[in-house]
Amino acid sequence: MLRKLCIFGCVLFGVLLLTYVVWVLIAWNRKATISVDYIALLNETSATVPENDRAWPLYRDAGIALRKNPEPSSFSEDMYDDMDAPTWPDQAGWEYYKTWIDSHVQTLDTIHRAAAMDGMGYVLVGMIAEEDKELWPDQYASQKDLDQSDEFFFSVLTPQFGPMRAMARFLSIDAKNAAFNGDIERCLSDIEMMLAIGTHVREHPLLISDLVSFSIYKIAFLTLHEIMEHDSSLFSLEQLDKLTRVLQGVEKNLKIRFDGERMFFLDFLQRVYTDDGNGDGSMIPIEWAKMISQLEITSSFESSSLVSLLVAPIADMYLASRKEMLVEFDRRFAFFEKHQLKSHSETTGDNQFVGLHLVPATSTMDPFYLIDVLTVPSYNSAIEQGVRTRKSRDALLEKIVSQKQSR
């Protein structure tokens, strides 16, 4: 009897082992179908801007000029973060800013011409373009051996945000200086162009684009607030009306967009899952390992191709399928879309996020590990940034109304 049980156990083990090996071999032969160029979709707006109507070449020239002659080094990169930096022309140290902006007369004109154009026209790719190498020489020099075939959405570079923020800070300093010296039209133009720069950086529907846009808008809002605090009668009623229209004009931009994040996730899915033609598919172990290693969201052991291959049958049993991943992703983002413009107290005070499984997963054993790791840490915070930016804008509009009523 014992012998029969041993034989049965061995046969059963052999069958299970053979099944497992076959399963591993099937997983080994799974292939991804790259059917959509999501980078092209991401660049849909920027790529359609006619060459002669693109603001980016002008921004690039201004960025190069500011790189060669940067903001005074006696203060930090962002004057609003440095307690020792002067924030108004009558304060000690402002002469450094005055000298700096006076040396950039042509740069100011270039920025204004760029910001006044309809489209930015900066096309996102995975490398620094030849024509941009003077703006980012180090990055350009380090990319010689990069393979740009079959670019993954995650590989696109967004180096333009740094120079754009620097230009907004430059305009902020010039606006305050102009206001202090009575050049009101120049001051108003600087503020309007700051907001235009903030709108230009939203050309690509990425989370980072919106966050940088918010930061630039807030530089403009803070600048205008300080100017109005120093002289409540500086602007005429007509100019206050113009400011109201300009501030109201960014209304549609005070919202986080999730289009780019969905593109990113769809591109990820088409690279780590097979495609059965009906929107579903199975995980591809080797591609899974490559992707999570590239994204640096797991340990080297877990991202090993061999380990991923050997555990593929187990992963198939617990990991959500391609369709399930997308359904869950869309469910969560539908919630974010619905609630993003509510105030912070309305959002968190009523526990609106309870039940959404918003705590990042710590193990690849989680069925929705991809969504947890790729989306959870940033979106709630991003929504709050949008709400704060809107409140800053609204406070300015109220201040304008108050000043008009006091006349």
Co-location of 245 and 289 in the same domain:
no
Dist CA 41 CA 394 (whole Å): 33
Give the list of residues 6+ apart from residue 190 with CB closer than 8 angstroms, or none.
171, 172, 174, 175, 178, 223
Co-location of 106 and 227 in the same domain:
yes
Dist CA 187 CA 271 (whole Å): 50
Residue with tokens 């997308």: 326
Q: List the domain range (segments joined by +) for residue 397.
A: 254-407
Co-location of 192 and 90 in the same domain:
yes
Co-location of 248 and 261 in the same domain:
no
Dist CA 393 CA 335 (whole Å): 25
At how many degrees (to 10) do helices 184-200 and 161-180 cross? 160
Q: Is there a domain that residue 26 lies in?
A: no
Residue with tokens 């099937």: 26
Co-location of 67 and 203 in the same domain:
yes
Residue 324, Cβ neighbours under 10 Å: how many?
Answer: 13
Q: Is there a domain that residue 45 lies in?
A: no
Co-location of 76 and 224 in the same domain:
yes
- What are the backbone dihedrals phi and psi of residue 283, each rounded to the nearest 5 degrees, phi first? -65, 140
Q: Is there a domain that residue 82 lies in?
A: yes
| Closest to 374 in 3D by CA, of 342, 318, 329 | 329
- What are the backbone dihedrals phi and psi of residue 359, each rounded to the nearest 5 degrees, phi first? -85, 125
Kindly provide the b/e burial profile for residues 269-290, where b requires at least 16 CB atoms within 10 angstroms of the residue's own CB.
bbbbbbbeeeeebbbbbbbbbb
Which of 225, 252, 279 terminates a domain? The answer is 252
SS3 state at 365: coil
Co-location of 289 and 395 in the same domain:
yes
Residue with tokens 């940067």: 70
Q: Is there a domain that residue 292 lies in?
A: yes
> Residue 195 in contact with residue 217, Cβ under 8 Å?
yes
Q: Is there a domain that residue 4 lies in?
A: no
Co-location of 394 and 295 in the same domain:
yes
Co-location of 87 and 199 in the same domain:
yes
Q: Is there a domain that residue 127 lies in?
A: no
Give the list of residues 6+ apart from residue 41 with CB closer than 8 angstroms, or none.
263
pTM for the model stands at 0.86
> Residue 53 in contact with residue 121, Cβ under 8 Å?
yes
Q: What is the pLDDT of residue 25?
A: 60
> Residue 179 in contact with residue 187, Cβ under 8 Å?
yes
> Residue 364 in contact with residue 302, Cβ under 8 Å?
yes
Q: Is there a domain that residue 34 lies in?
A: no
What is each CA distance from 388 to 215, 384, 385, 395, in whole angstroms?
Answer: 10, 6, 5, 11
Provide the domain count of the chain: 2
At how many degrees (to 10) do helices 105-115 and 161-180 cross? 110
Co-location of 263 and 405 in the same domain:
yes
Which of 223, 252, 281 terminates a domain? The answer is 252
Kindly provide the b/e burial profile for residues 292-305, where b requires at least 16 CB atoms within 10 angstroms of the residue's own CB.
bbeeebbeeebbee
SS3 state at 273: strand
Largest Cα separation within the chain, whole Å, is 104
Dist CA 84 CA 75 (whole Å): 7
Dist CA 167 CA 185 (whole Å): 19
Q: Is there a domain that residue 2 lies in?
A: no
Residue with tokens 């009897």: 1
Query: Residue-wise pLDDT tens for the chain (407 aa)?
Result: 666 667 656 756 666 656 666 556 666 678 889 999 999 999 999 999 999 999 999 999 999 999 999 998 654 444 444 556 888 999 999 999 999 999 999 999 999 999 999 999 999 998 999 999 999 999 999 887 666 555 788 789 999 999 999 999 999 999 999 999 999 999 999 999 999 999 999 999 999 999 999 999 999 999 999 999 999 999 999 999 999 999 999 999 998 898 999 999 999 999 989 999 999 998 887 777 677 666 655 444 344 445 555 555 566 666 789 999 999 999 888 888 877 756 444 544 444 443 344 444 445 567 887 787 776 556 778 888 998 999 999 999 999 999 999 87
Which of 195, 230, 252 terminates a domain? The answer is 252
Co-location of 108 and 240 in the same domain:
yes
Co-location of 298 and 311 in the same domain:
yes
Dist CA 308 CA 315 (whole Å): 8
